[in-house]
Amino acid sequence: MSKTIRIVIALIVLALLAVAALFLLRPGLLPRTGAAPEASASTQIISKGEYLARAGDCVACHTVPNGPVFAGGRAMATPFGNLYVPNITPDDDTGIGLWTPDEFYRMMHTGISRDGKLLYPAMPFASYTQVTRDDSDAIFAYLMSVPPVKQKNRDHELRFPFNNRELLIGWRTLYFKEGEFKPDAAQSVEWNRGAYLVKGLGHCAMCHTAVNALGGSSESKAFEGGMIPNQNWYAPSLTSNREAGLGEWEINEIADLLQVGVSHRGTVYGPMAEVVYNSLQYMSDADTKAMAVYLKGLPQKDGAPPPTSQARLVNPEVMEVGRKVYVAQCAMCHGAEGRGQPPSFPLLAGNRSITMATPVNPIRMVLNGGYPPGTRKNPRPHGMPPFSHVLDDEQVAAVVTYIRVAWGNSGTPVTPSQVNDLRKLLPE
Amino acid sequence: MYRTGIALLGTLLLLLAPLPRAHAQGQADAIPAFKKLDSIEARVQGCVTCHGQLGQGTANGYFPRIAGKPAGYLYNQLVAFRDGTRSYPPMNYLVAYLPDPYLKEIAEHFAAQRPAYQPAEKAPADPAAEQRGLLLATVGDAAKGVPACVACHGKNLTGMDPGIPGLAGLRTAYIAGQLTRWRVGERKAADPDCMKRIASRLSDADIAAVAAWLSQQTPRADASPEPSNLVRMPLACGSQR
Interchain contact, A335 vs B13, CB within 8 Å: yes
> Which of B18, B45, B102 is facing A333, going by the closest CB pair?
B45
For domain B127-240, say whether CATH 3.20.20.70 is its number. Answer: no
Instruction: Tell me the one-letter amino acid at B203.
Output: S
Domain ranges of chain B: 2-111, 127-240
Tell me, yes or no, if the pTM score tops 0.90. no
d(CA A182, CA B122): 72
Domain ranges of chain A: 42-175, 189-296, 311-423
* Topology agreement, domain B2-111 and domain B127-240: yes
Radius of gyration (Cα) for chain B, nearest Å? 19
Interchain contact, A332 vs B14, CB within 8 Å: yes
Instruction: Tell me the one-letter amino acid at A139.
Output: I
Q: How far is the first Cα of chain B from the last one, in angstroms, to the nearest whole number?
A: 45
Q: What is the pLDDT of residue A36?
A: 63
> Which of B32, B95, B97 is facing A333, going by the closest CB pair?
B32
- Which pLDDT band, with edges at 50, 70 and 90, does A10 fall under? confident
Interchain contact, A368 vs B37, CB within 8 Å: no
Pairing assessment for the beta strands A75-78 and B140-141 based on DSSP bridges: unpaired
d(CA A235, CA A364): 13
Q: What is the SS3 assignment for A225?
A: strand
Whether residue A426 lies within 8 A of chain B, CB to CB, comes out as yes
A17-26 pLDDT, tens digit per residue, is 777 766 666 6
The CATH class, in words, for A311-423 is mainly alpha
Of A93-102, A129-138, A152-161, B198-207, the one with minimum mean pLDDT is A152-161
User: Is the distance from CB of A427 to CB of A368 less than 8 angstroms?
Assistant: yes
Q: Chain A window 266-305: which residues touch B at a Cβ cutoff of 8 Å? A: 273-274, 276-277
Q: How many CB atoms lie within 10 A of CB A263?
A: 21
Q: Does the N-terminal peptide bond of residue A359 adopt cis geometry, omega within 30 degrees of 0?
A: no
Task: Work out the average pLDDT over A117-134.
Answer: 95
Per-residue pLDDT of chain B (241 residues; tens, 9 = 90+): 444 444 444 444 443 333 333 333 446 778 899 999 999 999 999 999 999 999 999 888 889 999 999 999 999 999 999 999 999 999 999 999 999 999 999 999 999 999 999 888 887 789 999 999 999 999 999 999 999 999 999 999 999 999 999 999 999 999 999 999 999 999 999 999 999 999 999 999 999 999 999 999 987 777 899 998 755 789 999 988 8
Interchain contact, B96 vs A274, CB within 8 Å: yes
Substitution target from B97, B104, B174 for chain A, most A beta carbons within 10 A: B97
Task: Work out the average pLDDT over A87-113.
Answer: 97
User: Is the distance from CB of A78 to CB of A229 less than 8 angstroms?
Assistant: yes
Q: A4 or A157: whose pLDDT is higher? A: A157
CATH architecture of the domain with residue range B2-111? Orthogonal Bundle (1.10)
